[in-house]
Amino acid sequence: MTNPLLADWQTPYGLPPFAEIENAHYLPAFDAAMQQHLAEITAIEDNPATPDFDNTIASFDRAGKLLGQIGRVFFALTSGHTNPGIQEIQEAISPLWSAHWDGIYTRQKLFKRMALVRDAIMQGSATQDSQNTATTSVTEEMHSLTELLYQRFIRAGSHLDAETRGRIIAIGGRLSQLQTRYGRNVLDASNAWHLILTESETDGLPASVKASAAREASAAGHEGKYLFSISRSSFTPFMTWSTNREAREKLWRAYTEVATHDQTNNHPVAEEIARLRAERANLLGFETHADYELADRMAATPSAVRELLDQIREPAWQRFAEERKRLQAAVQAEGGNFSLAPWDWWHYAEKVRAADYEMDSEALRQYFPLDRVRQGAFDVANRLYGLTFQPVDDVTLYHDDAQAYEVREADGSLVGLFITDYFMRPSKKAGAWMNAFQTQTRNGDEVRPVILNTCNFTPADPCLLSLEEVNTLFHEFGHGLHGLLSNVTYSMLSGTAVKRDFVELPSQIMEHWAFEPSVLKTYARHIETGETIPDALIEKIRQSATFNQGFATTEYLAASYLDLDWHQLTQDDEVNAEALEQKAMAGIGLPAEIAPRYRSSYFQHIFSGGYSAGYYAYIWAEVLDADAFEMFREKGIFDQETAAAFREHILEKGGSADPMALYERFRGRQPTVTPLLQGRGLG
């Protein structure tokens, strides 16, 4: 039987043949693709011609095409639409995947070829082709790809002895297993816990929230009751509106203690991950894993990260103290004889917001139906970059919730395919993210991108979004544009393949357009009356933009400090998850009324994602995006010259140049922290 993953995909836009793929196809496909990739690498090593950019660096970038396309399909589904079979395959394939890449990046013959080409490029501005008949000027992109690959070999330990390289490969394999288990534990623990309530226990909840909870309960076999989960799309509305303080506490404790019990306890998993990362960093010549990771980031050092966090911490803590005082007064005003607790914060913050700004968050949702918000994001991309998004209904995707859109330039030329998958379900992990089923490249055949945006909104008809969810949609759309508008030659530099603390710039800057008055008027219309959002309500949104930012910034900073503390452990340090977290939070004086945005048992960004020692990246990139948007404000938020410069220097360039150099080309100078502090109401 033909394995569809290994066949030539005769599908529109280069989409995977989802309808033909079965779980049983993955392992044989991975095995065959890895063998093919190794053969391609061996051919590069054994090429008798003098090593040059094309026969070594560019050939390495072209190699592994089949493995890459299989991996993009499989790993997108492990997070977006998994099942027990896929989870078992993931646990089997993760160490093999890690060992495959670690093995490639420690091949000595290949490393020597890479080093020779790098030396030639570093010493001059031209490289001779493999026939010694012509020379080619070294472009900035060629230089970037060469340096990227050389550093990957160094960071994998290619310059070390065989025994050390073997240990590093073994650590990588074990880490892949642990990181997969960590993510699965969070998903399993999250799906296993539900809060089931009767009608009398749902006081304060809006009708739309109750209707969604009733649907969830019915689907789970609890007809006539209401089911709430620790998914943010369920958790946040309940914590905001429920007057049932006992139930709020139960839900908050379940959320903050997820994956800390029984077989899904992630504390020992996190501890082993931290120990192995510290050992690997030491073997590679770094004091800690944070030093290892940050050497390849814009920030460069842990001290630079802490310096940024410390700059923001004091004004954030001060603002939080003011907010806490205001919320405690609200408790007292309604006769509450208790001190504000963490499970009270969302509830009383909403009361204060409503009182101070006369803004009802539930009523506000009526202006933000999902389809119109999505169209609003599309319209912003059209006005900035001339892009159009047209629904494509004659393609088969991996789930009925997913919708495809053909993206074209103003001149009608095809950009690529954009896919949205917006609703939460048990087969999807929490959060929001971007994947690519296909990345843009011109190294060999020209390939157009196929980009996926995934969110976790509550399924409803109509689906009405909160301001936070509107923000999330625009954020992920920014990542999508980064992938769609990539205009580079080499796939390893394409789209979002940039330094981790730069990748959030294109996503976070898009958030600014979401609530600009002129933009709101194009898409925010009442679901029942069709009324365009009134100016008075827009002004309330503007005035409340910095509301609760002390809380939001504090919980984010707490998680960032926690990430650093986990990854500044040395190989000799004793590791205990609970003790480490308590010490980390005491060290920054975290107030008792707040928990870090992510705790050690469910911090998937750093333990099963790519943000280890890098969660600070969101605030680092916010310095960039706030400063960059100031330029749009100065010249006009749809100024075509500014938009063209942002597209040319940021969105199109991927990892083809140093990110600060790209930013300076766009902005004309380095960024300052002032716009960020002002935007958060902290300065």
Instruction: Say if residues 39 and 102 touch (Cβ distance below 8 Å).
Output: no
Which pLDDT does position 122 carry in this prediction? 86
What's the CATH architecture for 12-159?
Orthogonal Bundle (1.10)
- DSSP annotation of 648 reads I
Neighbouring residues of 186: CB distance < 8 A, sequence distance ≥ 6: 258, 259, 264, 266, 429, 430, 601, 602, 604, 608
* 57-75 as b/e: b if 16+ CB within 10 A: bbbbbbbbbbbbbbbbbbe
Q: Where are the strands (E) in 382-465, listed by range?
A: 388-392, 403-408, 414-423, 433-438, 450-457
Going from N- to C-terminal start, the domains of the chain cover 12-159, 193-258, 273-362+549-615, 370-547
Separation CA 562–CA 569 (nearest Å): 11
**H/E element holding 471?**
helix 467-484
From the list 271, 323, 476, 622, the catalytic residue is 476
Tell me the whole-structure pTM to 2 decimals.
0.92
Neighbours of 305 (CB within 10 A): 26
* 595-615 as b/e: b if 16+ CB within 10 A: bbbbbbbbbbbbbbbebbbbb
Alpha carbon of residue 544 to chain centroid: 26
Which pLDDT does position 130 carry in this prediction? 45
Separation CA 469–CA 81 (nearest Å): 21
What pairs with residue 434 in β-bridges? 453
Q: Which of 253, 204, 230 is nearest to 351 (CA)?
A: 204
Which pLDDT does position 133 carry in this prediction? 45
The low-confidence residues of the chain, meaning pLDDT below 70, are 1, 124-136
Neighbours of 173 (CB within 10 A): 18
Neighbouring residues of 125: CB distance < 8 A, sequence distance ≥ 6: 137, 138
Give rounded-to-5 percent helix, strand, coil for the chain.
60, 10, 35
Which pLDDT does position 126 carry in this prediction? 47
Q: Do domains 12-159 and 273-362+549-615 have the same CATH topology?
A: yes
- What's the mean pLDDT when you consider all of the chain? 95
Neighbouring residues of 119: CB distance < 8 A, sequence distance ≥ 6: none
Instruction: Say if residues 97 and 26 touch (Cβ distance below 8 Å).
Output: no
Sign of the alpha-carbon dihedral angle for 120, 123, 128, 129: positive
Neighbours of 644 (CB within 10 A): 13
**Sequential DSSP letters for 253-268:** HHHHTTT-SGGG--HH
**Sequential DSSP letters for 53-81:** IIIIIIHHHHTTHHHHHHHHHHHHHHHHS
476 is catalytic: yes
Widest Cα–Cα separation across the chain:
87
CATH superfamily of 273-362+549-615: Neurolysin, domain 3 (1.10.1370.10)
Which pLDDT does position 38 carry in this prediction? 98
Domain 370-547 part of CATH 1.10.230.10: no
